């Protein structure tokens, strides 16, 4: 399996995001956490920020929507040029229709599961998605501690994905101490925030995470 490292700009310097993104050329994608202060108790970026980021970086964007009513809003992020648009199963009224709309707009479609959301009901629908995001913390804030009990869910999802071309992403507390465990459990796409942008050399941190995930 390929390994993808996605630094999350939730941990970047909000006054110099373009400059921080330029410091991670080894990243595979840039992870953009869109929060509306309704689905999660935090407020971050919206569509205008995504549109502007697309103008200042050649790295593809993976937009993680932690918002109410993603059925309405998700396709717009794909139309803007995001490479991946991931929305939460818990917030969608019709996740399959939303995924199809995202794909029709030219992006990969991802479905995200909170720690308390069982993976089982979604495993029969894997062909409708290009990515499954297993949250390893409660969504909303960066810098939280990894929840090791999510490793069993990662294994469950990986066992069902099998040889399908579906990315298995983990997000939350991913760093040097945890990335190998999630890789062993079956993850192939890793979101890392503070462990990258908290480093004096963010790109060296990206390369180190990749080494640990492929060791």
Contact 61/50 with Cβ under 8 angstroms? yes
Q: Which of 20, 36, 171, 188 is catalytic?
A: 171
Task: Based on the residue annotation, tell me whether 33 is a catalytic residue of this protein.
Answer: yes
pTM of the model: 0.95
DSSP character for 53?
H
For residue 119, report the phi and psi dihedrals to the nearest 5 degrees: -80, -25
Q: Is residue 111 part of a domain?
A: yes
Which helix (H) or strand (E) segment is 214 a member of?
Answer: helix 202-214
Domain with 82 in it: what CATH number? Answer: 3.20.20.70
pLDDT at 138: 86
pLDDT at 211: 97
Q: Is residue 195 part of a domain?
A: yes
Which helix (H) or strand (E) segment is 88 a member of?
Answer: strand 84-88
pLDDT per residue, tens digit, the chain (215 aa), is: 799 999 999 999 999 999 999 999 999 999 999 998 888 878 888 999 999 999 999 999 999 999 999 999 999 999 999 999 999 999 999 999 999 999 999 999 999 999 999 999 999 999 999 999 999 998 766 667 889 999 999 999 999 999 899 999 999 999 999 999 999 999 999 999 999 999 999 999 999 999 999 98
pLDDT at 140: 65
Q: Is residue 185 part of a domain?
A: yes
Q: Is residue 136 part of a domain?
A: yes
Domain that holds residue 41: 4-115+127-214
Reading the block at residue 39, the tokens are 């689905």
Q: Which of 20, 28, 33, 130 is catalytic?
A: 33
Distance from C-alpha of 102 to C-alpha of 33, rounded to nearest angstrom: 17
> In this structure, how many other beta carbons lie within 10 angstroms of the beta carbon of residue 191?
27
pLDDT at 45: 87
Task: Based on the residue annotation, tell me whether 171 is a catalytic residue of this protein.
Answer: yes
When divided into structural domains, the chain yields a total of 1
């Amino acid at each position: 399996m390929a390994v993808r490292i996605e630094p999350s700009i939730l941990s970047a310097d909000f006054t110099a995001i373009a400059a921080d993104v330029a410091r991670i050329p080894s990243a595979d994608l840039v992870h953009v956490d869109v929060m509306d202060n309704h689905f999660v108790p935090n407020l971050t970026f919206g569509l205008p920020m995504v549109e502007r980021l697309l103008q200042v970086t050649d790295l593809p964007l993976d937009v993680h929507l932690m918002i109410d009513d993603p059925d309405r809003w998700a396709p717009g992020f794909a139309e803007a040029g995001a490479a991946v648009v991931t929305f939460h199963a818990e917030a969608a009224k019709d996740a399959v229709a939303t995924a199809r709309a995202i794909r029709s707009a030219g992006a990969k479609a991802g479905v995200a599961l909170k720690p308390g959301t069982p993976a089982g009901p979604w495993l029969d629908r894997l062909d409708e998605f290009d990515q499954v995001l297993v949250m390893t913390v409660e969504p909303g804030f960066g810098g939280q501690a990894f929840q090791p009990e999510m490793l069993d869910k990662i294994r469950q999802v990986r066992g069902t994905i099998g040889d399908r071309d579906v990315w298995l992403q983990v997000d939350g507390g991913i760093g040097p101490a945890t990335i190998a465990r999630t890789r062993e459990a079956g993850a192939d796409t890793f979101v890392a925030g503070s462990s990258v942008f908290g480093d004096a050399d963010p790109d060296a941190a990206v390369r180190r995470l990749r080494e640990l995930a492929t060791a």
